[in-house]
Amino acid sequence: MAHEIDNLHMEFENFKLVSQVVGDVAWVIGAFVIILLMQLGFAMLESGNARDHNAIMTYVKNIMDLCLSTLLALFWSYSLAFPESDHPLTWSAAGESAPKVTQLLLHIAYQATAVTILGGAVSERMNLGAYVVLVCLLAGVFYPLASRWCWHEGALVERTPPFHDFAGSGVVHYFGGLAALIGAACIGPRKGRWDEIEAANFAPHNVPTVLGGALVLWIGWYGFNVAS
């Protein structure tokens, strides 16, 4: 009888452990999906503010941000941000890899969000080839280093008192905002943007899309903040 009780207790403990892992994974994946909505929100916000002939390219750049961020994370940037972790391409399909996969998904989501902030700042003023190069530099080098130094190891984490980043305020928002500011300052305004005669040509071509994008971004924050 005592042996059966011990077996039941072990099975219950194993069930609790598995349930906790499954719950954690489900929570992070749910947050990851909500964060991905922010890519749609940024695309809607930026395309609505752009002139109508540039709206499609705005969506293309936002999709490309996510695609490039995913590829770079798989091959390079995740390992740069998490040097203590195995390379993602070496992970097995076993259940013990699930926590690592969720960490990778969040890395991709935050990296894509940080990079796509730049897209709105240089909208209509940068050709696709130059934008691809810049995204690869930001997502492949600068963002993973910022993530590593602020969240994992490095001078900022190890200093006394240590640096604390709340909800990606530095790693994502400050990083993306600084990249956007530098990009906009280097490129300058759109030709004719501040000309009194041509000013009317730069009015947002679709205000409902802008407002819809703002609402989608609002929803995205609920996944972004809790997951970080």
**Residue 9 pLDDT > 70:** no
Q: Which tokens go with 3?
A: 């042996």
Residue 144 is encoded by which pair of tokens?
A: 């993973």
Around 157, how many Cα atoms within 13 Å sit in the side-chain half-sphere?
Answer: 11
Closest listed residue to residue 180, CA positions, set 126, 109, 108: 126
Give the model confidence (pLDDT) of 19-71 as tens digits: 777 778 888 888 899 999 999 999 999 999 988 888 999 999 999 999 999 99
Q: Where are the beta strands (DSSP E) in the chain?
A: none
CA dihedral 106, 29, 83, 118 (to 10 degrees): -10
Q: Which of 181, 71, 66, 190 has its CA nearest to residue 123?
A: 190
pLDDT digits (tens, 9 = 90+) for 143-165: 999 888 887 776 676 777 777 77
